Chain A
C-alpha cells in the first residue's frame, strides 16, 4: 500500500546523484602551522585590539608644549587601563619578540648545526630576549612614572 504511494512519487521525482567528497586540498594543517597562527593571534590580542575596537582611542595622544605647537604623546600615562593604538601594537610586538627569542635559543641548542649558523642563531636569540625585556620595562616606566619606585 505504502509501496504504491512511494512508487508513484518517485515516478515524478528523481533522486539527485549526489557525490559529495571532501576536497583534496582540505588537509589537516601541521602542528607548527597552527602554532604560527596562534602566535599571530597572540600578537593581535595582547596589543589590546579589542580595547581599540570598543573604546576607539586615538592612534597617539597630543600635548601642547611651551611654544604652542602640538606634540605627539606616545603613552597614555598614569593609567594602566587605557592605551593608545600605537603603544599597544609596539608592546605586543615586544612580547612576541621575546617569546620568539626563547624559541630561537632553544632551536640553536640542537645537536648538529653548522658553527656559523649556531653562533648567529644564539646571538639573534639572546639579542631578541634581552631587548624585549629591557624595552618592556622601559615602556612600563614611561606609562606609570612611579613604576617600581615607591
Chain B
C-alpha cells in the first residue's frame, strides 16, 4: 500500500517546516524573555511616560476616537492646560484600543491595563517576523533566521520593549522595519503596489513615533547615493516618487505632524531628492531624444540655471523664516554640544547622554564584532538594497553614539548585518565540512610518482594548499556556535538584571536574604487620590507629573511633556527659593499640595536632592529666576554638600526643608548620628527647623515620597514667615 507516499516530506517541505519551526520558536522566545518584571512583581506599568500613554488609552477606550482626537486636558500644566489631541502620536493608543476592542468582541474580557502591559512583547514577536522577511530580501533566508533569533533577544531592543514598558518605541521598531521591508521590495521590483504598501507602513510609523524623521531622511539618502553611484533606474524612480508623494500626504493626516513635512528643514532633504529624481529622469529622457551637441548645450544651461534658482530659493525661504531651521532635539544630534550649552532640559535627561563603549557592548555583545563582517559582505557585492542597509548601519551607528536612547534604532541593523556576516562565515566554512580527504598520494618505486590528475570516481582530491581543511572548519563552526550561545546567555542575564525593573516598585535584599518591596510611590498616589479634594493642585518636579495624573487623578502644575520651559522654571524657582519667596510662587500657581521624593532613609539615589541642581539651573534660566545662581548652592570650595559645611542658601531652600523635615530625629544606620543621609553619606546640617508655610500631610512608609499641604493665607493678613 503506498500510504507512505502521502507522508513523505520532500526536501522543500522539510525546509519550510524547519524555517517555520525556528521562526515560531524565535517569536515565543521574544515574548517570554520580556516577562521578567511581570513574574517578579506584578503586571504593572513601568517608568513615567507609559503612565501618560496608559491614561490616554483608557480615555480613548471610554470616550471614543473623536473625543480623544479633540481632547483638551485641563488637569495638567495648571493653569495652562494641554492640547493632548494635537500633541501626541496616536498610533500606540489606537493600536492598543483596537486590539482591546477586538478581544472584547470575541468575548475575551482583558483589562485595559493588561493590554497595555503586554502590547510591547506582542509587537516584539511581530518584529521578529518582519526582521526575518527583511533580511531574506537583503541576503538569504538562513541569514534571515539568524537575524530573527538575534533580534528576539538583543538587549538594546529589549530595554525599551519589556512587558510594562508601554511606550511608543514598543511598536515603532516594528513599523520602521515593516516600512524598510516594503521599501526594499519596491526598490527591487519597481512596482507601484509595493511602494504604496511602503507608504501605508510609513503612515503607521509616523503615527507611532517622532523618530519617523530618521526614515524620511534615510530613504532619500539611499536614493541620493544610488544616483551618485550611477545605479539610478526606473525602479528606484517609481519607488521613491510613489513613496514620497503618498507617504507625505498620509503623514500630514496626523495632527501633531500637520504641515511640518513642507515647512521644516528636517523634511527638506526628502523634497530635494524628490526634485532631483525628476530632474535626473528628465535628463536621461532628453539624452535619448536629442543629439549629443544639442544635449551638451541644454545640459550646461539648465545646470547653471536650476542650480542658481534652487540655492536662491533655499536662502530666501530660510532667511525669511518660512522654512524652520532644525529644532532643538534633532539639532542636538548633529551638534552634540548644542544641548549641553543651550537647552538644560534636553541635557538633563539621562537618556540623551552620549554613549560609552560599555553601553555598546552591554546592549549588543557579539554583534559589535559581527557588524564589520556584515558590512564587509555587503561592500563586497554592492547592489541597490545592500547600499540601503550599509547607509542605515552607518547613520544609525553615529546617532546611537550621540544619544543612548537611540541605541534602540541601532539594534535592528546590528542584528541584520551581524546575521549577514555570521551567515557568510558559517556558510563558507560549512561547505568545507563536506569535503572529505580520502586520496593519499600514491608513491610508486623510488623517484617516480603515480599520476594523480585523474582521481578515482568516488574520491575527492585533497587540496594541497589547504591543510586540515576539515578540522579548521569544525573549529570555526564550533567556535561561532559557542559565541552564539554566549550571546544568548549574556542577553538573558542583562534582561533579567538590568532591564526588568518597573521603577515604580523597588526591591532590595534585606540582611537575612529576604526581599523588601518598596511600594511607596503607589502608596502616596493612592493617598492623594483618596484624601485630597477633587480639584486639588499638586506641585512636584516634572518627572512625576504623568504618574500623578494617571494614578492620583489630580491636577498638576508641570509634567514630563516639558513643553513650557518657563512654567517648569517657575516650579524650579519655587523649589530653590526660601519659604517666603516660594509661598508667593505657590499662591500664584494655586498650589494645594507639594510632593517631593526623598531617598535618604532608604538609599534610593534618584531622589529630588540629587536632581536639585537641575532645578536650580532650569529655575535660574528665565528672567524671574535671575536671583537664583547655581554657585550660591555650593560650598566656597565648589562642592555640593548637605552637611553642616554646605551652603546656607541650600540649607534654607524649600526643597531642603521639605526633604529633611523631622529627618534630624531619625536613626538611619548603626554607628551614625541621627539625620544621616544614606545617599549623600553625610549627616545633614540643618536638623531642627519648623516649616512656616507648609504642613506635613503624608510621608510614606520608607520616607520615599513626602507630601506637604500649603497653608492658606493667615486670618489677619500677617505674613507667615
Instruction: Report if A and B associate in a common complex.
Output: yes
User: Given A28, A81, A112, A126, which contacts B465 in the complex, CB threshold below 8 Å?
Assistant: A112
B428 touches A106 (CB 8 A): yes
> In the complex the two chains form, what is the Cα distance from A113 to B340 in whole Å?
54
B369 touches A53 (CB 8 A): no
User: Given B356, B397, B402, B476, which contacts A42 in the complex, CB threshold below 8 Å?
Assistant: B397
Contact A103-B465, Cβ < 8 Å, known A46-B357, A80-B356, A81-B356: no
Q: Which residues of B contact A49 (CB under 8 A)?
A: 401
B401 touches A48 (CB 8 A): yes
What's the least CB distance linking A137 to chain B, in Å?
8
User: Given A54, A100, A122, A129, which contacts B340 in the complex, CB threshold below 8 Å?
Assistant: A54
A69 CB-CB contact with B under 8 Å: no
B472 CB-CB contact with A under 8 Å: yes
B612 CB-CB contact with A under 8 Å: no
A55 CB-CB contact with B under 8 Å: yes
Interface readout for A44-57 with B: 1 if CB under 8 Å, 0 if not?
Answer: 01111111011100
A150 CB-CB contact with B under 8 Å: yes
A109 touches B361 (CB 8 A): no
Q: Which residues of A contact B467 (CB under 8 A)?
A: 115, 118-119
User: Given B362, B375, B489, which contacts A38 in the complex, CB threshold below 8 Å?
Assistant: B375
Interface readout for A113-143 with B: 1 if CB under 8 Å, 0 if not?
Answer: 1110011001000100110110010011001
- We find that the number of chain B residues with CB closer than 8 angstroms to chain A is 53
Q: Which residues of A contact B380 (CB under 8 A)?
A: 31
Contact A126-B372, Cβ < 8 Å, known A50-B401, A80-B359, A106-B425: no
Q: Which residues of B contact A98 (CB under 8 A)?
A: 368-369
Contact A32-B379, Cβ < 8 Å, known A41-B394, A80-B362, A88-B357: yes
> In the complex the two chains form, what is the Cα distance from A47 to B355 in whole Å?
9
A48 touches B372 (CB 8 A): no
User: Given B356, B464, B466, which contacts A82 in the complex, CB threshold below 8 Å?
Assistant: B356
Q: Which residues of B contact A70 (CB under 8 A)?
A: none
What's the least CB distance linking A48 to chain B, in Å?
4
B475 touches A109 (CB 8 A): no
CB within 8 Å of A: which of B359-402? 359-362, 368-373, 375-376, 379-380, 382, 390, 394, 397-398, 401-402
B424 CB-CB contact with A under 8 Å: yes
A105 CB-CB contact with B under 8 Å: yes
Q: Which residues of B contact A38 (CB under 8 A)?
A: 375, 379, 390, 394
Interface readout for B419-435 with A: 1 if CB under 8 Å, 0 if not?
Answer: 00100110011001000
CB within 8 Å of A: which of B327-348? 336-337, 340
Q: Which residues of A contact B466 (CB under 8 A)?
A: 115, 118
Q: Which residues of A contact B390 (CB under 8 A)?
A: 38
A35 CB-CB contact with B under 8 Å: yes
The residue on A at minimum CB distance from B369 is A98
> In the complex the two chains form, what is the Cα distance from A76 to B253 in whole Å?
48
B355 touches A109 (CB 8 A): no
> In the complex the two chains form, what is the Cα distance from A49 to B373 in whole Å?
22
Q: Which residues of B contact A133 (CB under 8 A)?
A: 369, 483
> In the complex the two chains form, what is the Cα distance from A130 to B467 in whole Å?
21
A73 CB-CB contact with B under 8 Å: no
- We find that the number of chain A residues with CB closer than 8 angstroms to chain B is 57
The residue on A at minimum CB distance from B398 is A45
> In the complex the two chains form, what is the Cα distance from A108 to B299 in whole Å?
49
Q: Which residues of A contact B483 (CB under 8 A)?
A: 133
A50 touches B369 (CB 8 A): no
A51 touches B353 (CB 8 A): yes
> In the complex the two chains form, what is the Cα distance from A31 to B398 in whole Å?
20
B354 CB-CB contact with A under 8 Å: yes
What's the least CB distance linking B115 to chain A, in Å?
32
Q: Which residues of B contact A122 (CB under 8 A)?
A: 472
A59 CB-CB contact with B under 8 Å: no
Interface readout for B474-506 with A: 1 if CB under 8 Å, 0 if not?
Answer: 011001000100000110010001100000000
A92 touches B355 (CB 8 A): no
B358 CB-CB contact with A under 8 Å: yes
Contact A99-B372, Cβ < 8 Å, known A80-B362, A105-B425: yes
B336 touches A50 (CB 8 A): yes
B458 CB-CB contact with A under 8 Å: no
B283 CB-CB contact with A under 8 Å: no
A88 touches B336 (CB 8 A): no
Q: Which residues of B contact A83 (CB under 8 A)?
A: 356-358
The residue on A at minimum CB distance from B498 is A80
Q: Which residues of A contact B401 (CB under 8 A)?
A: 45-46, 48-51
A148 CB-CB contact with B under 8 Å: yes
A102 touches B357 (CB 8 A): no
Q: Which residues of B contact A35 (CB under 8 A)?
A: 375-376, 379
> In the complex the two chains form, what is the Cα distance from A94 to B490 in whole Å?
18
A95 touches B379 (CB 8 A): no
The residue on B at minimum CB distance from A37 is B394
B464 touches A115 (CB 8 A): yes
> In the complex the two chains form, what is the Cα distance from A139 to B369 in whole Å?
15
Q: Which residues of B contact A87 (CB under 8 A)?
A: 357
A140 touches B361 (CB 8 A): yes
> In the complex the two chains form, what is the Cα distance from A93 to B479 in whole Å?
21
B107 CB-CB contact with A under 8 Å: no
B350 CB-CB contact with A under 8 Å: yes
B382 touches A48 (CB 8 A): no
What's the least CB distance linking A79 to chain B, in Å?
8
A99 touches B354 (CB 8 A): no
B718 CB-CB contact with A under 8 Å: no
> In the complex the two chains form, what is the Cα distance from A120 to B394 in whole Å?
32
What's the least CB distance linking A62 to chain B, in Å?
17
23 A-B pairs in the complex with CB atoms less than 8 angstroms apart? A38-B379, A41-B394, A42-B397, A45-B398, A45-B401, A48-B357, A50-B355, A53-B336, A53-B337, A54-B336, A55-B354, A81-B356, A82-B356, A88-B356, A95-B361, A98-B369, A99-B371, A99-B373, A103-B373, A106-B425, A126-B479, A148-B489, A148-B493
Identify 19 new A-B residue pairs, CB closer than 8 A, beyond the known A99-B376, A102-B372, A148-B493: A28-B229, A31-B380, A35-B379, A38-B394, A41-B394, A41-B398, A42-B397, A45-B398, A47-B357, A81-B359, A95-B357, A102-B370, A103-B373, A106-B373, A106-B424, A109-B429, A112-B465, A115-B465, A115-B466
Identify the B interface with A (CB < 8 A).
Answer: 229, 336-337, 340, 350, 353-362, 368-373, 375-376, 379-380, 382, 390, 394, 397-398, 401-402, 404, 421, 424-425, 428-429, 432, 464-467, 472, 475-476, 479, 483, 489-490, 493, 497-498
Q: Which 5 A-B residue pairs are closest in the complex by CB-CB distance?
A: A99-B372, A98-B369, A51-B354, A83-B356, A91-B357
